[in-house]
Structure 1
Amino acid sequence: MLEADLHQVYGIDLSAPDLLRERSWRWLKVRILGLLSTKSRTHRHFYPPQEAG
């Protein structure tokens, strides 16, 4: 879910060699937290749509 959202929203391909070694944990954390404020699978997971009724 996170991998797909990071690719769809930010264009980040986690399978790229050494990507995560070249970036800080803060860099990744900021992007993951950003997924919570955009329409994404991650957002829907933590904030499921309210059922009508």
Structure 2
Amino acid sequence: MIVEADLHEVYGVDVEDRALMRARSWRWLQVRIQGLLAADTRLQRALAPAPEVPQ
């Protein structure tokens, strides 16, 4: 769900659009997911949370 939300927010990609998703390659999707991981997105924060600051 996080990937789906970020794909929509960042790239405007609606993964529910079956025609669009079938017309695209796995590489196309991989490049966009890598872009989400490189940006400040839900996905990036979920997989690489910021270190806790000692109090």
Q: Partner of 1:36: helix, strand, or coil? A: helix
Write the mapping of 1:28-39 to structure 2, written as runs, cut at 5 A.
28-39=29-40
Which residue of structure 1 lines up, in the alignment, with residue 44 of structure 2? 43
Q: Which has the higher helix share?
A: 2
In 2: Cα distance, 1:6 partner to 1:35 partner: 8
Pairwise CA RMSD of aligned residues? 0.8
Q: Distance in 2 between matches of 1:50 and 1:37?
A: 17
SS of aligned partner of 1:34: helix
CA positional deviation for 1:39: 0.9
Runs of 4+ aligned structure 1 residues displaced above 2 Å come to none
Identical residues among aligned pairs (%): 51
Residue correspondences, number = 53
